[in-house]
Amino acid sequence: MKRKEVWLGLLAAFILGIFLSPFASQSPDGLERVAGDRGFLQKEEENPAFRAPVPDYQMPGIGDRKIARALAGALGVAAALGAGYGLARALKKKD
């Protein structure tokens, strides 16, 4: 039925996450920019209690920043796919 669309959508997501994300703009985003301009950027918690395994979309231990970001993109797309599919599957079962 919708198998083709599902695979095409996934392919698009992996291509964007792996091959395009290393070339994304590195400029501060809207909130970071406003935080800098309005002088509250330093309020960001430097040592949060929780540390994510792949901070800043850079796979640890990889020297090249673009490759590190491509790998982070692959991991993230897979994780998001698993989370979304898993959650939808769990919601469906309870019918």
Q: Does 91 bind another protein (CB under 8 A)?
A: yes
Distance of alpha carbon 15 from alpha carbon 74, whole angstroms: 9
Q: Does 67 bind another protein (CB under 8 A)?
A: no
Question: Binding string, 20-59, against another protein, x = CB under 8 A?
Answer: xx--xxxxxxxx-xxx-xxxx--xxx--xxxxxxxxxx--
Min separation Cβ 68 and another protein, Å: 12
Distance of alpha carbon 60 from alpha carbon 8, whole angstroms: 30
What are the Cα distances from residue 6, in Å, to 18, 31, 69, 79? 18, 34, 25, 16
Min separation Cβ 36 and another protein, Å: 10
